[in-house]
C-alpha cells in the first residue's frame, strides 16, 4: 500500500460529460502529480502541484484542470469528455519536489462511451 | 517525441536466471533515473533509482547500471523470481533544471518469469 488514495476506482461516462477524480497524497507529502496512461502507452505527465501551488504542467488539455486544496488533497477535473480521454489516471505524491521517488495510487480507470 | 524508450515490449526469463531490462533516453538534461514495477490493477511501485553522478546502484537482487555516454540504463534482477513478473517502467527527470522534477516514463517492458 503506497498510502496514496484515489477515488473512484472506475468511472464510466458519456461523451460531453464532466468528471472529477480525487487524490489524497501520503501523509506528509506536499507534492502531487497527475499522470495519464492510455492503452499500451507509458505514463504521460499532466500536472504537478506543490503545497497548493501549480508547479509544472505537461501536455494537459485545456479541457482538463486540477487543483490542490489546503488539506493537500487534489482533484483532476475532466470536461467535454471525448472517447480518446478513456485511460487510467494516476495520482502520485512525494515529500517535496526533487530527489525523492514518487509514490503512486492505484489509479482511476475512466471509460468514455 | 519519446524521450525515454524501452524497445522491448516483453521479456521472458527462466526462474533463477538473470533478467536484464533496458532503457534508452535522448534528453541530455536528464540526471535522475528510476525503475518502477507495476502489477495489474495497481499503481507503479518504486524499485530503485540512480543519480547521474553514479554508474551503478544496487539494492538486494536489483542493480541499475547507467551509461551516460550511451544514454542507456539497464535493470538487472538476479536471481529472477516468479513474483518479479510485472511490467517495468523506466523513468527520468532533470532535477538540476529547476521546476523539472516531473518524471518522463518509457512505455514499459512486460517481464514474465517462467517457473
pLDDT tens readout for residues B46-68: 999 999 999 999 999 999 999 99
pLDDT at position B59: 97
Name residues whose C-beta falls within 8 Å of residue A14's C-beta, 6 or more positions apart in sequence: A81, A112, A113
Q: In degrees rounded to 5, what are phi and psi of residue A32?
A: -125, 135
d(C-alpha B34, C-alpha B102), whole Å? 12
Kindly state the percentage of chain A with pLDDT values over 90: 79
The answer to whether residues B35 and B49 touch, using CB atoms and an 8 Å cutoff, is: yes
pLDDT at position B102: 80
Mean pLDDT of A69-83: 96
- Condensed to tens digits (0 to 9), the pLDDT of residues B16-46 reads 999 999 999 999 989 899 999 999 889 999 9
- Condensed to tens digits (0 to 9), the pLDDT of residues A97-107 reads 666 788 999 99
Mean pLDDT of A66-92: 96
Cis check: omega of the bond before B79, within 30 degrees of 0: yes
CA distance to A26, B51, B80, per residue, from B101 (Å): 18, 13, 31
Least confident of A33-37, A57-61, A98-102, B59-63: A98-102
Query: Is the CB of A56 inside 8 Å of chain B's CB atoms?
Result: yes
Q: In degrees rounded to 5, what are phi and psi of residue B73?
A: -135, 155
d(C-alpha B113, C-alpha B89), whole Å? 17
Partnered with residue B23 across adjacent β-strands are: B73
Using DSSP bridges, classify how beta strands B86-93 and B32-38 pair: parallel, antiparallel or unpaired.
Answer: antiparallel
Confidence of residue B96 (pLDDT cuts 50, 70, 90): low
Q: In degrees rounded to 5, what are phi and psi of residue B110?
A: -85, 115
pLDDT at position A32: 93
d(C-alpha B84, C-alpha A51), whole Å? 35
Confidence of residue B71 (pLDDT cuts 50, 70, 90): very high
Q: In degrees rounded to 5, what are phi and psi of residue B84?
A: -80, -10
Question: How far away is chain B from the Cα of A95, in angstroms, using its nearest Cα?
Answer: 12
Mean pLDDT of A84-92: 96
pLDDT at position B41: 86
Q: Determine whether the interchain pair A103/B103 forms a contact, defined as Cβ–Cβ distance below 8 Å.
A: no
d(C-alpha B91, C-alpha B103), whole Å? 6
Chain A residues with CB-CB distance to B27 below 8 A: none
Q: Determine whether the interchain pair B107/A41 forms a contact, defined as Cβ–Cβ distance below 8 Å.
A: yes
Q: Determine whether the interchain pair A43/B44 forms a contact, defined as Cβ–Cβ distance below 8 Å.
A: yes
Amino acid at each position: 500500500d503506497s498510502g496514496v488514495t484515489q477515488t473512484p476506482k472506475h468511472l464510466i461516462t458519456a461523451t460531453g460529460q464532466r468528471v472529477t477524480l480525487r487524490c489524497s497524497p501520503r501523509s506528509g507529502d506536499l507534492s502531487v502529480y497527475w499522470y495519464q496512461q492510455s492503452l499500451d502507452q507509458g505514463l504521460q505527465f499532466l500536472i504537478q502541484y506543490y503545497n497548493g501551488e501549480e508547479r509544472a504542467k505537461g501536455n494537459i488539455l485545456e479541457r482538463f484542470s486540477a487543483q490542490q486544496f489546503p488539506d493537500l488533497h487534489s482533484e483532476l477535473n475532466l470536461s467535454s469528455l471525448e472517447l480518446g480521454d478513456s485511460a487510467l489516471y494516476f495520482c502520485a505524491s512525494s515529500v517535496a519536489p526533487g530527489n525523492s521517488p514518487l509514490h503512486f495510487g492505484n489509479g482511476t480507470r475512466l471509460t468514455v462511451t | 517525441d519519446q524521450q525515454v524508450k524501452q524497445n522491448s515490449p516483453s521479456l521472458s526469463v527462466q526462474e533463477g536466471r538473470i533478467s536484464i531490462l533496458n532503457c534508452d533516453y535522448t534528453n541530455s538534461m536528464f540526471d535522475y533515473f528510476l525503475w518502477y514495477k507495476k502489477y495489474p490493477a495497481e499503481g507503479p511501485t518504486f524499485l530503485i533509482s540512480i543519480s547521474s553522478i553514479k554508474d551503478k546502484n544496487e539494492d538486494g537482487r536489483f542493480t541499475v547500471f547507467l551509461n551516460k555516454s550511451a544514454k542507456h540504463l539497464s535493470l538487472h534482477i538476479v536471481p529472477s523470481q516468479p513474483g518479479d513478473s510485472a511490467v517495468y517502467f523506466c523513468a527520468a527527470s532533470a532535477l538540476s533544471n529547476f521546476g523539472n522534477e516531473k518524471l518522463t516514463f518509457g512505455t514499459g517492458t512486460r517481464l514474465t518469469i517462467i517457473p
